[in-house]
Amino acid sequence: MPRTLLLRNGTVHSPADPFATAMVVERGGVAWVGSEGAADSFADGVDEVVDLRGALVTPAFTDAHVHTTATGLALTGLDLAGARTLGEALERVRAHAAARPADRVLLGHGWDASVWPERRHPSRRELDEATGGRPLYLTRADVHSAVVTTALLDLVPGIRDLPGYTPDAPLTDAAHHAVRAAAHDSVDAAQRTAAQAAALDRAASLGIGSLHECAGPQISGADDLTGLLSLAAERPGPRVVGYWAEALTSANDAERVRELGAIGAAGDLFVDGALGSHTACLHQPYADGPHAGHTGTAHLDAAAVATHVTACTEAGIQAGFHAIGDAALTAVVEGVRAAADHLGLARVRAARHRVEHAEMLTPEHIAAFAELALTASVQPAFDAAWGGESALYAQRLGAERARTLNPYAALLRAGVPLALGSDSPVTPLDPWGTVRAAAFHRTPEHRISVRAAFTAHTRGGWRAVGRDDGGVLVPGAPADYAVWESGDLVVQVPDDRVASWSTDPRSGTPGLPDLTPGTPLPVCLRTVVGGHTVYERPNE
């Protein structure tokens, strides 16, 4: 059993006591939070007293959308996320190939031509030269398209006849899925386990106590999911909740999901693709599409969505979908509503079905999310990376449509449950950065308070998996918490529309670190899951 601890002489972020400075942890749960004076009465009855020395204690974060193995491979392998030019990206490919002579297939991630001055992807000829003719699989930042070498194409019979294949453009759709399967087959069990462990360790070092793994047959394979869940159960580290993105046609199909250890047929069950790859499904054409009238790719229609939601609801598991474009979100809303008409609205609402990304929402979509109790599992770092008047979203959609994306304030006003995540490795594991991105959205009317974003990144993730007891430090909650070195604590709100009393200390609103852009983010000193320490910052 975990030791009984008294943490004192700090700041404990708890709705049970907005001025708490101490907390007792017992049997893996929070037993008490309160003031320094009251802490004296607990000191003799615990195994250990921890002097926080002024540090901040918060609930551990939950990252509600992660691809753990891919994250680990990016951490330990070829990551092009920081490449500033095409030339720099090719040089990194060249160096990685030289450093990994034994790899059957070279794996890399993170290129984004929209931020390069050349404004073009690496050509197959350039990649063939940089790798010395070896197989290479290199995903775009959104992971919905990839550039590959000729040697990798040669490993996939019939690849040139599949939808999504173009002679020298990034591969999408079925062609992309085929090369991804060939590339991932090259990763042996030891490599996969090492990558997963690296990702879990990185998460723990950032104060993340739980991850939602979004697996599926078109993403990472059953062995990857079962291996990750086994690894997470065997070692100290973040909790991992698994989703399996396979469409169901009847409640009986859910047995497959349960056998894998997943709690739902959800996550990246693709209704469409991504904006960066021109594969998100839109009602109106892309502003910069590959050809006139291009509106992206639809994978599931409203009827298929209705069938899946009905099957999952009847089986007692969560359904969920990846939907980014407005046409994809329309299909989701229409499909879930059809399921609710068949099964009854209350039954569908109680299932807490999810939608991942949900970027191109209209007011009608938002109202439907609230009506149907759909959780919006969103990634604010997408806006930080690609939002604004001239970045990728504006390039793809035009500035006017781009300004409508990721409307977090409207979602909260409507009562839509929010859970925040990274979609790592699409954007990095970075919980405080994620909260900052939501609070300082590039479109001001979509900004939410730091407190609301923090709640969505802690308690919101627990609620998204159907649990209301975690993500908050109150008696009876799981002892999943993080200890932080931070600056001044403040109540940070989006603008002057928020009542001034909420920022007054007399209001009793617990403070959080100042996340104004440019200020240092908090540093994690310790992460604890279920009362067990899973990360402790080394002494420097």
Q: What is the pLDDT of residues 112-171, one digit of tens each?
A: 998 899 999 999 999 999 999 999 999 998 888 899 999 999 999 999 999 999 888 899
Question: Rounded to two decimals, what is the model's pTM?
Answer: 0.92
pLDDT of residue 1: 64
Residue 540 pLDDT > 60: no
Task: Identify the DSSP state of 117.
Answer: T
Residue with tokens 């970027």: 359
Range of weakest confidence among 27-31, 217-221, 372-376: 217-221
Q: Is the dihedral of CA 149, 150, 153, 159 positive or negative?
A: positive
Residue with tokens 């009905």: 310
Task: Identify the DSSP state of 168.
Answer: T
pLDDT of residue 81: 85
Rounded CA gap, 18 and 509, in Å? 6
The pLDDT tens digits for 79-125 are 898 899 999 999 999 999 999 998 889 999 889 998 899 999 999 99
The pLDDT tens digits for 206-246 are 999 999 999 999 888 899 999 999 999 999 999 999 999 99
Q: Is the dihedral of CA 202, 146, 268, 464 positive or negative?
A: positive
- Grade residue 506 by pLDDT with cuts at 50, 70 and 90: low
**Largest Cα–Cα separation, the chain:** 74
Rounded CA gap, 110 and 139, in Å? 6
Residue 2 pLDDT > 80: no
Residue 307 pLDDT > 90: yes
Rounded CA gap, 36 and 50, in Å? 13
**In terms of Cα–Cα distance, which of 430, 388, 412, 401 is closest to 494?**
412
